[in-house]
Structure 1
């Protein structure tokens, strides 16, 4: 993806690489970072980062203070991806009074993409030029930041220093073993892992909290499952959350109604025909899981938040290619398992410790800026659960 504002965003990252042979090679190099054995080694870091947010929220849980959960989750997921994927202590949850520069840059870039895609004359309107300048500045910030991360880790590896076995290490070693690989492609990959690992999970968790508040019976059942599975245990393992089948169903139903990444794109290798329409090879095709997941013929009463759609028996009956929040096929999101584990541990700890009420002014509309997010930021007030308070 070369941004039409004449600046590179995802470029030829793993998400947007067109050459199939090159994509397969790079995907195979990155796969070890997302295997189950590797993910188990992330439990401690995940719990440490999440508990910082829990402590912060406990200090705000007076039933009066308004808290934007989207902002809180954005800071947390940025800290998590920074630490786990790139060995960086970003400390956004603890040391901040507003959104981090990185978060603001990501959101500005997404908004710029959305505006540019929906309006073919966007870049020609003088009234947009100031905004375009800001987007270009944000894109430049992300690329300079990512290149600096790469160069610092590369230098550390070449000196023989200890470096963590994280995503950045795999990216740097990929470059060292394949010097012909363009440095800009390396930067593309770093940006896409940062962006994909931060914004989307924050949006998912925010929508889920709104859905739970709107459906108190679902919230009660989920809280019962969490207490039955782990009680007030503070350290949650992957095995712990994998035992929570209803938690898994809640996450999947939230993704059905509010997929953070609502669209995916493909290009047919050969001429094809769909419903009588002839589509030449190489034509970009956009597919919307947001639309297909809300169609009555596939999901009865589609606007109802009903996690039991994803019970083991019911899930097997869901028609293929109607529900694909992480896309489908060989190019399924490489970070799918990590994102699911991260979201489950965060949500389980929130449900375990807090009651919450959405602010009366909280909108339940959707804001689209490439990703889908709750308009207004999922603002709520919090109180401690009795068992946590005691």
Structure 2
């Protein structure tokens, strides 16, 4: 028994020595007081307060602060000069251990958390999935699914307070399943879809694991009840995805064709889905396995519906609070979008003011409030040596509120995103889709979907604020609100 005690003591002493070295190495960088073993865990024990706490960091500690997760040190930054290094360096493409901790069993080596040669190979395969020609095909999906969205919003408009985030989440799940998997799940007609519930469970568990030191330890975590809950949710997610992948694989094999211009039985050109590209791709002459495809598909199902639904919801909330902006957006939509034919990709691209509205909403409420990189190779920054394996976290929520780059930062002003004003800002002062080597591969897809959905909402409803309501922000991997994202919907007269 005493042998185990000696081992534990030695491990503890090694960690203490590392902590001491970190404190010496980063003595020029300020940060909140950290305690042995727990680090800054006590400061961040309430996830609903973390956004506000981190937002105060630049004023208290400077643009780059040091924080301890247990005994491990990380840097949290809003410094655009440091971001130039982080975003543009080929030695800083690896995501943090937190991503692996919370996503490994779910997303495996999918594009979100993979690194090195595997990430580069998969990124190369997936880039054509967002070619203009393929995106053009998806507009029809946005439109058809948007009709169900309007119907659901109309039913909800009888209430004085509507949590639109719930409704938009179902819409974006329908869209991403149709476009990425070529399969309809009809989530808007089935709000209790098991896949949807499993995703919510996984996100709740992700927050718990990041914040709780016991849950962060893989050995201890496996003895907890939430581990059992995760396994059950994961079984739902993987069986759903693998079933569709196998079905799609057999369908493609039965066609004996790789012609992307092939037509269906109605004479329409078949849409090339994200999954089709994966199923037809090879790496070093070998096709991807079902499990590799599942990891990529699940990555896109998660990222393509959760982040987008948050962005639509917060944009609608901002429009409800700014009627003069909503009026200008409504007038543009009525002027640009056709009434005598189907909406095209060019129509959506011509919604210039609405695009500025969306960008300003993503400035105030970025879908991902924090993201991080791990240093692969030591480098110097401002006289401080940044060693290998240190995590550098980007506080995107606060970065977008820098009063130097964005005067009167809490004001909602879409005109910040005119071409002239954008050219005067540092290019990394605004990064809602990240930047550099690991920027969001689906950002063009996302912007088209956002425009399509929000245009439909504004065209059919006047968005009004709910008296006394304000969102209680919380970062559950994506930025959301503990009390929903709520507006009042007033149907426009025909």
Is 1:108 matched with 2:201? Answer: yes
Cα distance, 1:80 vs structure 2: 0.5
Q: CA deviation at 1:23?
A: 2.3
1:26 counterpart = 2:122: yes
User: Is the deviation greater in 342-351 or in 171-180?
Assistant: 171-180
Please say if 1:368 is aligned against 2:475.
yes
Q: Deviations over 1:37-75 (max 9, x none)?
A: 21111121211111121133234444x464321011000
Q: Indicate the residue corresponding to 2:166 in structure 1.
A: 71
Counterpart position of 1:80 = 175
Corresponding position: 1:207 with 2:207:
no
Runs (5+) with no aligned partner, structure 2: 1-96, 257-263, 265-269
Residue-by-residue CA offset, 1:214-272 (whole Å, 9 max, x unaligned): 11221122112212223756843221122121111111111111111122222334211
SS in 2 for 1:372: strand
Query: In structure 1, what is the Cα distance between the partners aligned to 2:174 and 2:465?
Result: 25
Shift of 1:133: 2.2
Partner residue, 2:372: 265
Residues 11, 275 of structure 1: CA spacing in aligned structure 2 closer, same or farther, 3 A cutoff?
Answer: farther
Task: Tell me, in whole angstroms, the C-alpha distance in 2 between the residues paired with 1:374 and 1:282.
Answer: 32
1:141 matched to 2:141: no
Deviations 1:275-330 (A, max 9, x none): 44322234332212212111222211111111111111101112122211111112
3-state secondary structure, aligned to 1:356 = strand
After superposition, residues 76-225 of structure 1 pair within 5 angstroms as 76-93=171-188, 95-96=189-190, 98-122=191-215, 129-160=224-255, 164-174=271-281, 178-179=285-286, 181=288, 183-225=290-332
Q: CA deviation at 1:354?
A: 0.5
- 2:431 pairs with 1:335: no
Tell me which residue corresponds to 1:9: 106
Structure 1 CA distance for aligned equivalents of residues 372 and 160 of structure 2: 42
Structural mapping, 1:303-382, within 5 Å:
303-360=410-467, 362-382=469-489
Q: Is 1:38 the equivalent of 2:149?
A: no
Q: Which range is displaced more, 264-273 or 309-318?
A: 264-273
Closer/same/farther in 2, CA of residues 80 and 181 from structure 1, 3 Å limit: closer
CA pair 188-317 structure 1, distance change in 2 beyond 3 A: same
Quote the residue 1:296 is aligned against: 403
Would you say the 8 A contact 1:206–1:377 is kept in 2? no
CA positional deviation for 1:345: 0.8
Once the 2 structures are TM-superposed, how far is the Cα of residue 167 of structure 1 from its aligned partner?
0.6
TM-score normalised to structure 1 length: 0.89
Instruction: Give the root-mean-square deviation of aligned CA atoms.
Output: 2.6
**Shift, 1:138, TM fit:** 1.3
Gaps of at least 5 residues in structure 1 are: none
SS in 1 for 2:452: helix
8 Å Cα contact 2:316-2:487 kept in structure 1: no
Contact 1:70/1:377 (<8 A) preserved? yes
Please name the residue that 1:247 is paired with: 354
> TM-score scaled by structure 2?
0.71
The 3 A distance-change label for structure 1 pair 86 and 181 is closer
* 8 Å contact kept, 2:464–2:487: yes
Q: Deviations over 1:89-118 (max 9, x none)?
A: 11111x22x442222211221221222112
**How many equivalent residue pairs?**
382
* Greater than 4 Å deviation, 4+ residue runs: 123-126, 161-164, 175-178, 180-183, 231-234
Residues 79 and 230 (structure 1), Cα distance of their counterparts in 2 relative to 1, 3 Å cut: same
The structure with more radius of gyration:
2
Q: Which shows bigger deviation, 289-298 or 170-179?
A: 170-179
2:151 corresponding residue in structure 1: 55
> Cα–Cα, structure 1 residues 14 and 295, in superposed 2: closer, same or farther, change >3 Å?
same
